[in-house]
């Protein structure tokens, strides 16, 4: 066909059902397991709050969007196990960059991130989520506020990043549960296929560089792998 | 002829005739607006399909009202005029592009029964008239004049914006449109030569009828040879600033060029004009080369079949335009100028001369074989000379002898 061959190439695309776009508000592209969305404050299985008001999340937050004040637990009606609890907990979503550092910093896995990031406000005050809005309900599910666009599956698998990584980042703890049970979910399983993923992301040549380098490479390259894995996972989850 | 070839205006003009003309004006105006609206939707939808996207699908069934929604939105947008803009020209420029776009369609015959010796006229309220807003004796020249006028709108818009990119874009635009106007005019010349008239209605008349062997239509496409048609098609794309010749609006280089500083409904007017010109240009191609509304009448009223054939042929070309747009990348500026000046203009000019020779030979009863041999030889010699000249100039340019 020579010069005109290109016209056939484009013509063949007509009428194909395959689409590279999704009709966004109606349907959403699948989100990776480790998507960082709106935070939730978790509770233990007995209904106690996990937050102990230590303010580590507020301290680590690079955007300075978290405000926490702890208070002593009332002896007759304790809010959390232990001495103190989060008395005030506020996150300003006009500042939050969803970096997940608060989740990493939290010693009790009290704060994790769901996969829902589609929410909007009409004034600045509404952008500040308080403890009442962030804490999970009595079934352990994140509260679905009217201006948030929750889809099935987005409230599952929160804190996926936490479950994918061993405490303190040491590889020896891979696949070992180092976290407490949650209301509504029980003891969450470690992220699946950790070893398999490591094998793939490490590449064909066994790396001879140091331990730290390896961890960094793992973190960066993981994203590509995530997609394949998440498709399977997502369908199973739904 | 008087005010035109239309039998409506041939005799005494009374109030009824004025009203009929007014009715036709309103109808054509409305048709053009609706056609433009649908064209924008059609283009977005089809390009979307070509690119594995969905396209507009929310406003109305299949998103057909998307253009209307966009238009309403544009009306309510803030209308900005830059401080350094030449205010009056800045306001005038969009109108200068949109008015010729409307006027251009007035000479296009869009319906009527052309079979069995009918002349495509219809009866409205006891008066005979053509399904065409106006049929002036200058016909196709009027169309060329109007499409040239549109350059002023683009040019003045760019100049009056008081900004770099619009100015660059409008300089490109005027150079491109003037260059391709020549090729466009020369290929129209071929049609005028064989039909012997400038009137668009008579052009359609000359292409009507049962045709050769009973089924091959007597379209100018075949009468003038395929070359003027191809040249017209290419040149019309450049004239319309459509891809692959959309250098004028090259977003990546010029931030949208002449309409960069425009907002609100003034911005929309440029696009209305652009898509309206696409529709009209397709209609003109159909009129000039494919017999316009002429076609067989299968059943029912003949004039309706005229409209159906006209719309069918036009839509085929509009689809072709969109197809080209979704297939070809934009050409470079020097490629654009090369194609215009070194290929299309010599080609259409040479073909026009050959065509004229053959027609004279036929009238004078010259020996056909000798005529073809001599004309062909001369054409080949000129083609060789042109090639040599282009090659020499390229070599000298590379050597740095001339800029």
In the block, residue with structure tokens 């999704």: A22
Q: Do B258 and B97 touch, CB atoms closer than 8 A?
A: no
Alpha carbons A52 and A83: distance in angstroms, whole number:
8
ipTM of the complex: 0.71
Question: Per the omega criterion (within 30 degrees of 0), is the bond before B312 cis?
Answer: no
Q: Tokens for B190, please give them.
A: 């071929």
Report whether B305 contacts B30 (CB < 8 A): no
Give B247's Cβ-side CA count (13 Å radius): 19
The answer to whether the CB atoms of A10 and B52 lie below 8 A apart is no
Which tokens go with B129?
């008239």
Contact B136, B142 (CB under 8 A): yes
Residue pair B73/B268 in contact (Cβ under 8 Å)? The answer is no
CATH of the domain at A147: 3.30.70.3270
* CB atoms A11 and B328 under 8 Å: no
CA distance B179 to A200: 59
**Average pLDDT of the residues of chain B:** 85
Determine whether the interchain pair A7/B323 forms a contact, defined as Cβ–Cβ distance below 8 Å. yes
- A36-60 per-position pLDDT tens digit: 888 999 898 888 999 999 999 999 9
Contact A32/A223 with Cβ under 8 angstroms? Answer: yes
pLDDT in tens, B202-232: 888 888 877 766 677 778 888 888 889 999 9
What is the DSSP-derived secondary structure letter of residue B59? Answer: S
In chain A, DSSP assigns E strands to 39-41, 66-72, 84-92, 111-113, 128-129
Residue B92: is it exposed, middle or buried by C-beta count within 10 angstroms (0-12/13-18/19+)? Answer: middle
Ramachandran region, residue B136 (left: φ > 0; alpha: ψ -120 to 50; beta: rest): beta
Q: Does B251 touch chain A (CB under 8 A)?
A: no
Per residue in A175-215, pLDDT (tens digit) is 777 778 888 888 877 766 555 655 655 555 444 444 444 44
Closest to B198 in 3D by CA, of B144, B137, B143 = B137
Residue A101 lies in a domain: yes
Q: What is the residue range of A101's domain?
A: 38-153
Please indicate, yes or no, if residue A173 is contained in any of the structural domains: no
Interface of B with A in 196-235 (CB under 8 A): none
Cα B159 to the center of its chain, rounded Å:
25
Over 60: is that where the pLDDT of A216 sits? no
CA-based nearest residue in chain B for residue A25: B58
Tell me, what's the pLDDT at A214? 40
Alpha carbon distance, N-terminus to C-terminus of chain A:
48
Which residue from A7, A11, A19 is facing B52, i.e. has the nearest CB? A19
> Which residues in chain A are contacts of B51 at CB distance < 8 A?
13, 20
Q: Is A216 contained in some domain?
A: no
More confident residue, B398 or A1: B398
Q: d(Cα A127, Cα A75) in Å, to the nearest integer? A: 33
Band (A162; pLDDT cuts 50, 70, 90)? low
- pTM of the entire structure? 0.76
Rounded distance, CA A149 to CA A115, Å? 11
CB under 8 Å to A125, separation ≥6 — which residues? Answer: none
CB pairs A-B closer than 8 Å: 33
Closest chain A C-alpha to B92 CA, distance in angstroms = 39
pLDDT of residue B319: 92
Mutate to test the interface with B, among A2, A6, A9, A14 (most CBs of B within 10 A): A14
Query: Hey, which residues does A72 pair with through a beta bridge?
Result: A84
**Inter-CA distances, B3 with B8, B10, B12, B138, Å:** 10, 8, 12, 11
- Confidence band (pLDDT; 50, 70, 90) for A35? confident
- How many domains are contained in chain A? 1
Answer whether B327 sits within 8 Å of A10, measured CB to CB.
Answer: yes
SS3 category, B120: coil
Statement: residue A221 has pLDDT above 60: no
Between CA B180 and CA B244 the distance in angstroms is 14
Of the candidates B111, B129, B112, B110, the one whose C-alpha atom is nearest the C-alpha of residue B120 is B112
Judge whether B181 and B148 are in contact, CB under 8 Å: yes
In a mutagenesis test of the B interface, which of A1, A10, A23 is the best target, namely the one with the most B β-carbons within 10 Å? A10
Average pLDDT on B81-87 reads 88
> Residues B298-337, buried b or exposed e (16+ Cβ, 10 A)?
eeeebbbbbbbbbbebbbebbeebbbbbbbbebbeeeebb
Contacting residues of B for A20, CB less than 8 Å apart: 51-53
Q: Kindly list the residues from chain A whose CB atom is less than 8 angstroms away from the CB atom of residue B52.
A: 13, 16, 18-21
* Residue B247 token pair: 């250098």
Q: Are B219 and B332 in contact (CB under 8 A)?
A: no
Picking from B43, B48, B49 by the largest number of A CB atoms within 10 A of its own CB, the best residue to mutate is B49
The SS3 assignment for A232 reads: helix
The answer to whether residue A72 is domain-embedded is yes
Token duo for residue B9 = 């205006």
Q: Which of A10, A15, A21 sits opposite B323 (nearest CB)?
A: A10
A82-108 per-position pLDDT tens digit = 899 999 999 999 999 998 889 888 888
Which of B52, B57, B324 faces A13 most closely, judged by CB atoms?
B52
Cβ neighbours of A10 in B, within 8 Å: 50, 323, 326-327
Best B44, B326, B329, B335 member to test A by mutation, with max A CBs in 10 Å, is B326
- Token pair of B171 as six digits: 């300089």
DSSP per-residue letters across B133-190 = S---TTHHHHHHHHHHHHHHHHHHHHHHT-SHHHHHHHHHHHHHHHHHHHHHHHHHHH
Nearest-5° Cα angle at B90, B85 to B96 = 160
Please give, rounded to a whole number of angstroms, the shortest distance from the CA of A20 to a CA of chain B.
Answer: 6
> Does residue A43 sit within a domain?
yes
User: From the candidates B42, B43, B50, which should be mutated to test the interface with A, based on the most A CB atoms within 10 A?
Assistant: B50
Chain B residues with CB under 8 Å of A6 CB are 327-328
Locate B12 and state its tokens.
């005494």
| Rounded Cα gap, residues B96 and B87, in angstroms | 14
Cα separations in angstroms, B368 against B196, B342, B359, B365, B380: 21, 30, 11, 8, 18
Residue A175 counted as domain residue: no
Q: What percentage of chain A exceeds 90 in pLDDT?
A: 19
pLDDT band, very low/low/confident/very high, at A219 (cuts 50, 70, 90):
very low
Cβ neighbours, 10 Å, residue B254: 21
A13 belongs to a structural domain: no
Q: Which of residues 29-48 of B touch A (CB under 8 A)?
A: 46
**Which of B53, B326, B328 is the closest to A20 by Cβ?**
B53
Residue A122 distance to chain B (closest CA, Å): 21
Structure tokens at B139: 């016909």
CB contact under 8 A, B327 and A19: no
With vertex at residue B347, the alpha carbon angle to CA B342 and CA B350, rounded to the nearest 5 degrees, is 120
pLDDT score recorded for residue A193: 56
pLDDT surpassing 70 at residue A226: no
Q: What are phi and psi of A119, to 5 degrees?
A: -145, 150
Mutate which of B46, B47, B52 to test chain A, going by most A C-beta atoms within 10 A? B52
B335 in contact with A, Cβ within 8 Å: no
Contact B49 A23 (CB under 8 A): no
Give the Cα separation of B325 and A202 in Å (integer): 44
In sequence order, the β-bridge partners of residue A86 are: A70
Identify all chain B residues contacting A15, using CB atoms and an 8 Å cutoff.
Answer: 49
Beta bridge partners of A112: A40
Q: A-side interface with B, Cβ within 8 Å?
A: 6-7, 9-11, 13-16, 18-21, 23
- Tell whether A82 is covered by a domain: yes
- Judged by CB atoms closer than 8 Å, whether chains meet at B53 and A10 is answered as no
Output B185 or A164, whichever has higher pLDDT. B185
Helix/strand/coil for B50? helix
Handedness of CA B325, B328, B330, B335 (dihedral sign): negative
């Amino acid at each position: 066909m020579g010069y005109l061959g290109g016209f056939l190439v484009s013509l063949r695309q007509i009428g194909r059902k395959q689409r590279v776009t999704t009709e966004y508000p109606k349907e959403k592209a699948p989100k990776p397991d480790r998507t960082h969305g709106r935070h939730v404050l978790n509770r233990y299985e007995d209904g106690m709050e996990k937050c102990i008001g230590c303010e580590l999340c507020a301290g680590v937050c690079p955007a300075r969007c978290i405000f926490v004040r702890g208070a002593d637990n009332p002896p007759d009606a304790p809010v959390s196990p232990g001495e103190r609890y989060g008395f005030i907990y506020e996150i300003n979503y006009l500042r939050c960059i969803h970096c997940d550092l608060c989740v990493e910093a939290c010693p009790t896995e009290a704060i994790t991130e769901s996969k829902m990031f589609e929410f909007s406000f009409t004034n600045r005050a509404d952008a500040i989520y308080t403890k009442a809005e962030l804490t999970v309900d009595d079934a352990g599910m994140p509260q679905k506020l009217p201006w948030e666009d929750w889809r099935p599956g987005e409230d599952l698998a929160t804190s996926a990043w936490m479950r994918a990584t061993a405490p303190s980042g040491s590889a020896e703890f891979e696949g070992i549960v180092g976290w407490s049970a949650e209301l509504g979910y029980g003891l969450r399983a470690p992220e699946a296929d950790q070893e398999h993923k490591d094998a793939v992301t490490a590449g064909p040549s066994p790396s001879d560089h140091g331990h730290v380098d390896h961890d960094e490479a793992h973190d960066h390259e993981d994203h590509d792998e995530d997609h394949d894995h998440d498709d399977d996972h997502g369908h199973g989850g739904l | 002829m008087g005010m035109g070839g239309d039998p409506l205006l041939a005799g005494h003009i009374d109030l009824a005739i004025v009203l009929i003309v007014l009715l036709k004006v309103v109808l054509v105006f409305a048709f053009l607006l609706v056609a433009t609206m649908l064209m924008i939707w059609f283009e977005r939808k089809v390009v979307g399909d070509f690119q594995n996207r969905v396209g507009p699908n929310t406003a109305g069934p299949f998103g057909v009202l998307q253009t209307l929604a966009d238009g309403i939105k544009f009306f309510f947008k803030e209308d900005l005029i830059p401080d350094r803009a030449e205010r009056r020209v800045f306001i005038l420029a969009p109108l200068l592009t949109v008015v010729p776009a409307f006027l251009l369609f007035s000479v296009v015959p869009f319906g009527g029964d052309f079979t069995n010796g009918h002349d495509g006229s219809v009866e409205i309220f006891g008066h005979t008239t053509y399904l065409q807003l106006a049929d002036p004796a200058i016909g196709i020249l009027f169309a060329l004049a109007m499409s040239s006028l549109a350059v002023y709108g683009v040019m003045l818009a760019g100049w009056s914006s008081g900004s770099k990119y619009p100015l660059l874009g409008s300089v490109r635009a005027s150079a491109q449109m003037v260059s391709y106007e020549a090729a466009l005019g020369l290929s129209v010349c071929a049609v005028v030569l064989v039909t012997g008239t400038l009137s668009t209605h008579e052009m359609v008349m000359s292409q009507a009828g049962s045709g050769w062997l009973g089924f091959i239509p007597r379209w100018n496409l075949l009468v003038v040879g395929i070359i003027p048609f191809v040249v017209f098609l290419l040149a019309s794309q450049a004239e319309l600033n459509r891809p692959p010749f959309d250098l004028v609006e090259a977003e990546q280089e010029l931030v949208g060029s002449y309409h960069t500083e425009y907002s609100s409904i003034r911005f929309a007017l440029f696009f209305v004009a652009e898509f309206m010109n696409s529709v009209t240009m397709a209609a003109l191609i159909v009129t000039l080369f494919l017999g316009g509304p002429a076609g067989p009448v299968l059943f029912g009223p003949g004039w309706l079949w005229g409209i159906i054939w006209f719309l069918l042929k036009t839509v085929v070309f509009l689809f072709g335009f969109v197809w080209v747009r979704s297939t070809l990348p934009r050409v470079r500026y020097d490629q654009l100028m090369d194609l215009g000046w070194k290929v299309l203009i010599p080609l259409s000019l040479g073909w026009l001369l050959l065509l004229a020779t053959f027609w004279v030979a036929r009238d004078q009863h010259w020996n056909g074989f000798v005529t073809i041999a001599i004309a062909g030889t001369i054409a080949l010699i000129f083609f060789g000379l042109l090639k040599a000249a282009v090659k020499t100039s390229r070599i000298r340019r590379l050597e740095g002898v001339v800029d």
